[in-house]
Amino acid sequence: MSNKPTIEEYLKNIEERMFKAYRCVDCGSLMAIPSGSCYECGSNNIDWAEVSGKGKLISFTVIHVAPDEFAEETPYYVAIIELDEGPRVSARLLGFDPLKPEEVTLGIPVILDYEKGKSGKTYLAFKPA
């Protein structure tokens, strides 16, 4: 496989606001986080997969104390999103006040977005749909 997805490309896609998931060529299962092999069948025959960018909020946490790289950005949300296509991904959650987590409702529909951090890096993020 010459076109096998790499973590570098995965991150570059996010930087370019063109997030893609992974698909196992052998069994068709989808993965939204970088992995060298399929969670379902163990195959390492992985290719890129386009996703709709739609999903729902499964869980979230507010980060108050972050590594140096993100310290300036606190507080912020990190959420687990289940994509409509099935796989789950960890991403920032936008559109809510990080000081009012009681206003965030689990299960709400969310849509893919991106956030440019103070570090200049672009992060995968989701916002209410």
Residues that bind Zn ion (CB under 5 A): 24, 26-27, 29, 38, 40-41, 43
Q: Which is nearer to Zn ion, 29 or 90 (CB)?
A: 29
Tell me: cis bond preceding 128? Omega within 30 of 0 counts: no
Min CB(26)–Zn ion separation in Å: 5
Q: Which is nearer to Zn ion, 43 or 61 (CB)?
A: 43
What DSSP character marks residue 118?
A: T
Measured from the CB of residue 88, what is the shortest distance to Zn ion in angstroms? Answer: 16
Contact by Cβ (8 Å): 88, 68? no
Min. distance of Cβ 13 from Zn ion in angstroms? 21
Quick check: helix, strand or coil at residue 53? coil
User: 4-29 burial string, b = 16+ CB within 10 Å, else e?
Assistant: ebeeeebeebbeeeebbbbbbeeeeb
Q: Which is nearer to Zn ion, 16 or 47 (CB)?
A: 47
Which lies closer to Zn ion via its Cβ, residue 18 or residue 41?
41
Name the β-bridge partners of 81: 57, 89
